[in-house]
Each structure stands twice: as C-alpha cells, then as structure tokens.
Amino acid sequence: MSVYLVTGAAGFIGANYVHHLLEWEPDAQVVAVDYIGFAGNLANLDSVIDRITFEKADIADLEVMEALYRQHRPDYVVNFAAESHNDRAILGPSSFMRSNALGAQVMAECSRLVPVRSHVHVSTIEVYGELAEGDKWFTEGSPLNAKTPYSAAKAAGDQMVRAYMQTYPEMNIRMTHCANNYGAFQLPEKLIPLAVTNVLRGKKVPVYGDGLQSRDWLHVADHCAAVHRVLHADLDPIPAAAATEPGLLPIFDISARWEVTNLDIARRVVTALDLNPDEWIEHIPDRPNHDRRYLINPDKIESQLGWAPTHDFASGIAETVAWYVEHRAWWEQIIADKGELGFDWSQVGTAATPR
C-alpha cells in the first residue's frame, strides 16, 4: 500500500486528483495537505474525507512540512499547492511568491531530506509567457519568460525544482506544465464557473477586453491522469546534455491542443445554458498585462509516456456546465462565504474592487 502526499488538495485540481487517485488505487493512503487559502475549500473533499488524512499546513514552512514527511513517510508526492489566480496576484504578489516559489523549494527540500520514490512539481504553461506572432507553440525546451506576478512566481519555483533535478538526480523529481484546466470544483473566480454561476443568478458573463485572448484548454481529469503517469514513469537517468538542453530534463508539457478564445468559452457556456450569448455577455475593461496567446506541444508526454487526452472539448464543457448547475449548493456557499468573485479593473492603478 503506497502513501501519497498531495498538496493543494482542497483546491480545484488537487481535489480532482485525490478523487481519481482513490478510484485508481482504492487502498492508497492519501495525506491531503492544504493551508486553506482563498481558493482552498475543504468541501471539495467531503465525499472522501473518511478515506484520507487531511493536514492543514503551509507548504512554505519547512519545519512543519518536514515533520509531516517524517510522520507519514510518503512514497509519492504531488505538489499542486499554489496561489493560482492571476487577478489576485496583481493585487498582492507576496503570497504568490511564498507559495509558488518558496513552497516549491520547501517541498523539494523535504523530498530530499526524507526521500520518496518520486515527486511531481505541478507547474503551468504560463511560465513560458506569451507566444510571439507566428509561433505555433512552446515546448519543454522553450525559455521561461513569465511576465505576470502569478506566472513569474511559478517560474521561480520551476527554476528551483530544475536545480534540484540536476543537483540531486537520485531524488526522482519531475515537473509538468499544463494548459488551462476546466472541470468540477473550480472556484467561481475563474472564467468557466464564474460564467455559469453569474448566468444562473441572472447576471451577465463578464469578458475581459475583446475576449480574443487565446488559451489552450484541457479537462481536469486528463490533467490528473497525466500527472499520475509522470509520477509513476520509469524514466532514464538525466543525460549530461540536459545541462544545456532543458527539453531533456524530466519535464512534460500537457495539452489536448484545443485552442479557444475566452470569448468563445463564454459563448459556449451561455449556449449550454440554452440562452443567447449576444444577450448574456458583456465586455469589461481588461486586466493589466493580460497574456494574449499561449499553447504548448504535448508530443513528449504522448510519445515517451503514452499519455493521451480522453475528453472531447465540446462535450467536456457541456458536462462541466451541467456539474455547476447540479451543484448549486456548493458554489452558493462559496459566494456566501467570500462574496462576489469577479474583478472590476476600471479602477486599476488604485485598487480593483469585486464586481
């Protein structure tokens, strides 16, 4: 029976991963760690809470995390924990630096001090920055060129994890960069659940600027399966050439090659709710420094690890919208606790206010 330590487990992707893990390995011992920050929601683990050990802890606290490692002795570690909302990072970058950069290093350090079989650091497509005009996509060898406070803090964590990979190769530390995820349990401050929960309350869907920011979208279940595959992959030792060719490091980019604009997503959500998008979408001032377009190439994980996405985008979005319709009590409680979750950037330069 393997012990899994999963951080960020009360967030969107971490919670989905814990649910899937218990389906894939019903006898797995799962230690779910989360400090229940703004996006943390223990209700995401309600249906499995009797089958896991939940630890409320900050991954950036070395003393606390090392003690948890020594207590639970994990075989496998997946670090999903991060502050993840670009808008919030603009208003207060410091907590992002703590969780995404220092937290990544502390987690790697714990896996060095209390060795594990493998450790996956979950990162994002956004560390590569914005695609230049005419460029098709990024790959694992692309330079990190993060430009927002969220993605720059993630890139700082990535650099530290790359340093651990190459300095302590016996650690078996791996990394993933994933496209934008959609699915159940996402906090309604992100585009898709914000759109659904607004419409269901008779409010229009806010779309930043012209809405033509282009993103790469993946179903969260496909992301979880990819992370699990990377965690368990029997990888060759890191070759010396990786020192100058980062594409040779144990880093895997995850995408289903679905490029969609934010406006298109908003229109699909409204259409899935049987309403007219022209009447239910409003364009609002864009947030500052909004990445225009990014995509990644998943060839490496497909060819080396045999992973492939299984969710079709159109039906995946329709199922996701249906999930939020069916789980109204879940998101109403979040809005009751946290208030409205959209942002009004018309006041940028002073402070943004919730819409």
Ligand X SMILES: NC(=O)c1ccc[n+]([C@@H]2O[C@H](COP(=O)([O-])OP(=O)(O)OC[C@H]3O[C@@H](n4cnc5c(N)ncnc54)[C@H](O)[C@@H]3O)[C@@H](O)[C@H]2O)c1
Nearer to ligand X, 40 or 309 (CB): 40
Nearer to ligand X, 80 or 345 (CB): 80
Nearer to ligand X, 189 or 263 (CB): 189
Residue 240 C-beta: closest distance to ligand X, Å: 30
Nearest to 127 by CA among 98, 161, 103, 94: 161
Nearer to ligand X, 39 or 270 (CB): 39
Token duo for residue 269: 């959500």
Contacts of 325 (CB under 8 A, 6+ apart): 196, 200, 273
Q: Which residues on neighbouring strands pair with residue 119, listed in sequence order?
A: 77, 173
Residue 286 C-beta: closest distance to ligand X, Å: 19
Strands 52-56 and 3-7, sheet pairing: unpaired
Nearer to ligand X, 280 or 324 (CB): 324
Token duo for residue 142: 């692309």
Residue 287 C-beta: closest distance to ligand X, Å: 16
Nearest to 219 by CA among 178, 261, 271, 177: 178
Report in angstroms the alpha-carbon separations of 276 from 22, 46, 268, 279, 326.
Answer: 40, 35, 10, 6, 21
Q: What does the alpha-carbon distance between residue 101 and residue 91 come to, in Å, rounded to a whole number?
A: 18
Residue 100 C-beta: closest distance to ligand X, Å: 7
Nearer to ligand X, 102 or 165 (CB): 102
Residue 8 C-beta: closest distance to ligand X, Å: 3
Residue 5 C-beta: closest distance to ligand X, Å: 12
Nearer to ligand X, 196 or 280 (CB): 196
Residue 124 C-beta: closest distance to ligand X, Å: 4
Q: Which residues bind ligand X (CB under 6 A)?
A: 7-8, 10-14, 34-37, 39-40, 58-60, 80-84, 99, 103, 122, 124, 154, 178, 180-181, 187
Residue 103 C-beta: closest distance to ligand X, Å: 5
List the helix and strand counts (H, then E) for the chain.
13, 14
Report in angstroms the alpha-carbon separations of 167 from 155, 160, 228, 243.
Answer: 18, 10, 24, 11
Q: Residue with the closest Cβ to ligand X?
A: 11
CA-CA-CA-CA dihedral for 20, 5, 107, 157, to nearest 10: 0
The DSSP output letter for 249 is S
Q: What does the alpha-carbon distance between residue 11 and residue 80 come to, in Å, rounded to a whole number?
A: 8
Nearer to ligand X, 161 or 280 (CB): 161
